[in-house]
Amino acid sequence: MKKDHFAVRTATVDDVPVILDLIRALATYERAPNEVTATEKGLVEVLFGEKPAAEVLLAFENQAAIGFAVFFHNFSTWLGRPGLYLEDLFVKPQHRGKGYGRALLIHLAKIARERGCGRMEWAVLDWNEPAIKFYRQLGAKPMDEWTVFRLTRDGIAKLADSSLE
């Protein structure tokens, strides 16, 4: 990786169109191109509004956005410390193998250290063997005894509307 051709920086509200393009590229890579419902207006609100829900780092090669990391803070009750949760890490396929994913993770690790985080966590699709191998090489360990659960918007509404009985 030639450092003079590569840069990582925190996204700004002006980057929302680029962020949405990267989200769409990620969805295509993850075999779900039609599942993206995010909009520029919505991203402006949730990323740069009064109470931002997440932060975004952008990776550039020769001034072109080639990847991103979307993250937010969670909390470990056992550690009594905040954690950094990596929601998405994505480098466009044609730019992989140049160290850009590693550079994004190093940048995130520095943020986590500066903010006193007790850990960094993320999920990876079971079929994504290249990513699993990459994360293991960094020293990350899979949480084999844990299963991720999810309620979608409909499930949230159904639970919220249910009675206590």
Question: The CATH number of the domain where 29 resides is what?
Answer: 3.40.630.30
pTM beyond cutoff 0.85: yes
Domain that holds residue 54: 3-161
Question: What is the residue-wise DSSP string for 88-146?
Answer: EEEE-GGGTTSSHHHHHHHHHHHHHHHTT-S-EEE---TT-HHHHHHHHHTT----TT-
**Residue 160 CA from chain centroid, whole number:** 27
Is pLDDT above 90 for 165? no
Query: Over the stretch 9-39, which tens digit does the pLDDT of each residue have?
Result: 999 999 999 999 999 999 999 999 999 999 9
Q: How many structural domains does the chain have?
A: 1
Place of tokens 């609100």: 45
The pLDDT of residue 29 is 92
| Candidates 29, 85, 100, 135; catalytic one | 135
For 32-82, write each residue's pLDDT tens digit: 999 999 999 999 999 999 999 999 999 999 999 999 999 999 999 999 999
Please indicate whether residue 135 is annotated as part of the active site: yes
pLDDT tens readout for residues 139-149: 999 998 998 89
Radius of gyration (Cα) for the chain, nearest Å? 17
